[in-house]
Structure 1
């Protein structure tokens, strides 16, 4: 996307785009290269709204809306999910352009308000079905012999989750808090399955129009991840709201596989997946992962599928491990047994790190420095060499992993943090990481040298106390 086009987005537009309140004449572009990177433009508002939520929650409830360790993990997942876009255009756009250039049936005008509104509905409808498929897959097909009508009817019928698609979406549901940072907890794998639900739009809608709504649909879903907004009155009938989405994130039995909407809740009402919020929601996965380490947050369910696949006897059973529900096993129904879903008591205690407040402050400082390099990398990616990009991405991933190790109190956390600080100084010295503030370059080196000394001593003590095998 064109950086110059991004400069045309005013402050008013940046605020309104967070709530899908942009007008067709403001956001219609003839070619894809003219479409601004609205998600990048929204970054300051993500931070501002999270701070505002913190203040409001403290005033209303006397406590913050979540835990620091969980928020860092959510933002880490968001960072992780965007790193592949440094090297190539997203598969959602790549596949869409391919279908458009080779198979389009008609070419709707890019500057027509009707095209704009049709794309809004099409993208939101596609998101509903992708989101639903990531949780469940309706496979009931009925043929009525009297009139030969084909009916695909899911509500109240036999439904099954698709395990491999859930592996790409479970990251977003792994937080046991529910606040604006949870919205950023995105999967790096999800886009590799979501594209197929949008591709039919490429038969008639130009890529530039699609690219706008793909971003707006994502941005809209940021603000609904909060507990500080209770009920929006008549709007609850039409649009997806914080109340509706809280249900979707719940692990209470009444919440499971409900409210898949992106922007319009009418899809859930039409297709029978709507559920109103009627009791306290307990958030997270039915079986919490109890970790803040980013690779486990992203890929733990893939590892589960892999180990279960090889441990399950029989070819067709192995196939079922991938494409049936996570609770399935030989001799069980497609979804597994509902009684195996743990009952929610309301007394669940979210998993928290037991590290000291001082170590949490240290983690926040290192995380903030990493975010600054992350933002700078996206801002300068056109001018950076592939080698520099790769080294920066490796450093960002190393930082996220090390912070996760520290919060989890892993045995090798001190060794990994020592290595990470050494890598930072090396990349800093040879120019792959530029000084954030040139005048403080020497102070940066001193700070990381102290970190190396501190964690190095901790590492040696840990290694010395470890029993020899």
Structure 2
């Protein structure tokens, strides 16, 4: 979707759209290109709610609820998941428009409240099946597992999205394209995603009667659990009625332990996004016969020869309730360093989305590559990888070069100077780290 006019949302709209509290009158458009980029414009509202959650957590328990390593990894995944839109229109939107233009059988009025509410239900119903299939089909789980890889449950976890899931999710919404105009779909596909942001919290406990209809933090906490009673439950997006109808609902009972049944124990964003594909490929190669090979791809993640389609629940690791999330010790100074560099790349990210229509594709590709490198090397630092020093030194030098040639420069001269000085000092620090490791290695030999 491209902006053809001023489609900036107001503060009121930005707040309300996170809770799906937008009316048909203010969110009905004749053309897809008129639909605001709600998800991209939600960034400051995401940040505001994350800070509010951290404050409430600190006031209640003395804990901010967010760990820098885990939160940074989640935010990095969210950034990466949006990067393909710098080059191509959302596959969900483009495929929908294609089917509408060539095959629609009925044209519901775009300015009707009835159309708006039908699309609301249609998108949420489609999401239920996208989500359910992403848990029950191994090749789809390879994409979706990134969202479940955090062992914490807070608002940053909501942003831990998969970069590859959109390449399959589009199929589930195509039946709507036979009757619902693309502009209405483009609104609801964004609102459905935005609504799911605020339910990733432990701050909100119970919403009373709303728990019967809406997907709530309590219901979604269950979905993120690795307790046996939580597995493959509560797939809803905005509504929980689909789970109640199709037998996949379970209420929150025992203490929920979050994350994957087999934790990945890494903050490397490339591993978070793609490591399961490597595992799946190895399983495929080692499987005997074409039947077993296809079963590895199209049956559940827990399937093994001789088990049901979704695997045997008794094979799942036992959850005791005493599990401790992966959170290795690292210095406060290094945590501050990662935090500052992440904020700097986040500024670059936001600026790129605001100005990409004025930049050449080569420039966009260069800056995108720099952001990917930054998020990857910060993951190496948080993992305390032995190769972190050389990668981070190289990245800081690249950062300095891009800043010097104006690709990521700040509009405020003083900040621009401070950024360059910080990049130089960072490069020197990591160069010294590389040198010290070489000295130690030579003494060892």
For the Cα contact (< 8 Å) 2:225–2:259, is it kept in 1? yes
Q: What are the superposed Cα offsets for residues 53-80 of structure 1, whole Å, 9 maximum, x if unpaired?
A: 1111111222122322111110010011
Q: Does 1:448 align with 2:411?
A: no
> 1:213 — aligned with what?
188
Partner of 1:16: 16
CA RMSD of aligned residues (A): 1.4
2:268 is equivalent to residue 293 of structure 1: yes
Matches of 1:346 and 1:436, distance apart in 2? 50
Deviations 1:225-280 (A, max 9, x none): 00000100010011010000000000000001110000111111111111000111
Does residue 342 (structure 1) correspond to residue 323 (structure 2)? The answer is: no
Structure 1: how far apart are the matches of 2:337 and 2:395? 14
Aligned to 1:65: 65
Provide the residue aligned with 1:153 in structure 2.
none
Kindly indicate whether the alpha-carbon contact (under 8 Å) linking 1:13 and 1:22 is maintained by their aligned counterparts in 2. Answer: yes
1:225 is aligned, of 170, 180, 200, to 200
Which residue is 2:168 aligned to?
A: 193
Retained in 1: the 8 A contact 2:35–2:187?
Answer: yes
Aligned residue number for residue 107 of structure 1:
107
- CA distance in 1 between counterparts of 2:8 and 2:295 reads 50
* 1:254 aligns to 2:229 (yes or no): yes
Q: Unpaired segments of 5 or more residues in structure 2?
A: none
**Does structure 1 conserve the Cα–Cα contact (< 8 Å) formed by 2:3 and 2:33?**
no
Q: Measure how far apart 1:321 and its partner are.
A: 1.2
Determine the C-alpha separation between the residues in 1 that align with 2:262 and 2:237.
Answer: 25
Is 1:427 aligned with 2:402?
A: yes
Maintained 8 Å contact 1:291/1:408 = yes
Unpaired runs of at least 5, structure 1: 137-161
Equivalent residue, structure 1, for 2:379: 404
The match for 1:94 is 94
Counterpart for residue 349 of structure 2: 374
Shift of 1:193: 1.1
Q: CA shift at 1:463, angstroms?
A: 3.0
Distance verdict in 2 for CA 1:26–1:123, change over 3 Å = same
User: 2: CA distance between counterparts of 1:369 and 1:8?
Assistant: 24
Partner of 1:25, secondary structure, is coil
Which range is displaced more, 21-30 or 420-429? 420-429
Task: Assess, with a 3 A threshold, how the Cα gap between structure 1 residues 339 and 200 changes in structure 2: closer, same or farther.
Answer: same
**Aligned counterparts of 1:294 and 1:245: Cα–Cα separation in 2:** 24
Instruction: Give the conservation status (yes or no) of the 8 Å contact 2:302–2:312.
Output: yes
1:351 equivalent in structure 2: 326
Conserved 8 A contact 1:5-1:35: no
Q: Tell me if structure 1 keeps the 8 A contact 2:7–2:34.
A: no
Aligned to 2:389: 414
TM-score (norm 2): 0.97
State the shift of 1:331 in Å: 3.4
8 Å contact from structure 2 (residues 215, 237) kept in 1? yes
CA deviation map 1:314-339 (0-9, x unaligned): 22221111111222233333333322
1:436, distance to aligned residue in structure 2 (A)? 4.8
In the other structure, the counterpart of 1:128 is 128
1:27-106 to 2 correspondences below 5 Å: 27-106=27-106
- Report how many aligned residue pairs link the two structures: 444
Partner of 1:329: 304
Alignment of 1:301-320 (within 5 A): 301-320=276-295
- Please state how far the C-alpha of 1:388 moved relative to its aligned partner: 0.8
Q: TM-score, normalised by structure 1?
A: 0.92
What SS class does the counterpart of residue 466 from structure 1 fall into? helix
Tell me, yes or no, if the aligned pair for 1:6 and 1:41 is still in contact at 8 Å: no
* Alpha carbons of structure 1 residues 378 and 252: separation in structure 2 relative to 1, 3 Å: same
Q: Distance in 1 between matches of 2:65 and 2:5?
A: 36
d(CA) in 2 for partners of 1:40, 1:333:
41
SS in 2 for 1:47: helix
